[in-house]
């Protein structure tokens, strides 16, 4: 299978390192023109995994005729490229799910998927149990409450910087409480798991969200409670941060890998 990637940061590098070269022998990566030379330099040498080609235009990515495209470049990349890729009939897997908190963008991408006959896949990312949530949502919107707990360093560069002193934090602190839509929009690099839950049935405007900085946390922790007429359940997961980017859990990378392999026409999971 030929994989397309948008972005060449820590998620993309980690993902390429996990790809089984016998199933994904080729990868084409789309980067900004200003990053092209560096990306080519950073590409793994021939023979050390999948062959990596780097391009700087959407046309170059489309010309590569990839079987599926994964976005690892942020909300703006989802908005800029997602619909065009889907209209071309290419399955699209966005890591930056928080972009879909924009209701107009979400609907535009669903329409593009229908037009192109392609699938917009919602990866689980750093959380689990979404298949059960999807099933329960068929009986009506369940009540969902989510809490995300990460070390202070994982919230650096986010609006939390202006709310609490992350460097001096001594106790666990809730710095955000609101709806799923508010969380996904305000914390795009840290709250994509909120979007995964919302898109699986929690609903952006109905689910409750708390975001927490904990100086004693040694991992990224996600928990959510679901209450529906059919059943009630709670899931809690502690993830190891990505060494290259503490805002991202390695389970996010593993989740993307799983969805890629599910799209393998020769050997789907």
Catalogue the active-site residues: 222
Please name which of 126, 195, 189, 182 lies closest in space to residue 158, comparing C-alpha atoms.
189
Backbone angles phi, psi at 242, to 5 degrees: -65, 125
Measured distance CA(248)–CA(241) in Å, rounded: 6
Beta strands at 245-249 and 241-242: parallel, antiparallel or unpaired: antiparallel
What distance in Å separates the CA atoms of residue 7 and residue 4, rounded to the nearest whole number? 10
Going by C-alpha positions, the residue among 72, 234, 66 that lies closest to residue 143 is: 234
192 is in an annotated binding site: yes
137 labeled part of a ligand binding site = no
Report H helices in 98-189. Answer: 103-116, 130-137, 180-186
Annotated binding residues for NAD(+), written as ranges, equal 126, 192
Annotated binding residues, written as ranges, equal 126, 192
């Amino acid at each position: 299978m030929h994989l397309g990637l948008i972005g060449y940061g820590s998620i993309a590098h980690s993902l390429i390192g996990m790809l089984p070269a016998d199933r994904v022998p080729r990868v084409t990566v789309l980067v900004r023109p200003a990053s092209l030379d560096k990306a080519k330099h950073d590409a793994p040498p021939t023979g050390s995994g999948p062959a990596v080609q780097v391009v700087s235009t959407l046309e170059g990515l489309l010309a590569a005729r990839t079987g599926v495209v994964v976005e690892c470049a942020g909300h703006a990349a989802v908005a800029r490229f997602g619909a065009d890729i889907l209209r071309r009939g290419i399955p699209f897997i966005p890591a930056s799910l928080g972009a879909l908190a924009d209701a107009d963008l979400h609907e535009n991408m669903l329409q593009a998927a229908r037009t192109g006959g392609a699938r917009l896949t919602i990866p689980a990312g750093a959380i689990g149990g979404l298949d059960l949530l999807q099933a329960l949502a068929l009986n009506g919107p369940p009540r969902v409450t989510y809490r995300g707990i990460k070390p202070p360093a994982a919230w650096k560069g986010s609006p939390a910087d202006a709310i609490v002193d992350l460097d001096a934090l001594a106790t666990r602190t809730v710095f955000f409480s609101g709806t799923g839509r508010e969380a996904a929009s305000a914390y795009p690099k840290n709250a994509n798991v909120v979007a995964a839950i919302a898109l699986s049935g929690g609903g952006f405007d109905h689910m409750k969200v708390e975001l927490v900085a904990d100086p004693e946390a040694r991992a990224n922790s996600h928990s959510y409670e679901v209450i529906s007429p059919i059943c009630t359940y709670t899931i809690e997961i502690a993830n190891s941060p990505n060494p290259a980017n503490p805002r991202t859990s390695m389970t996010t990378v593993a989740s993307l890998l799983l969805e890629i392999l599910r799209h393998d026409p020769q050997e789907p999971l």
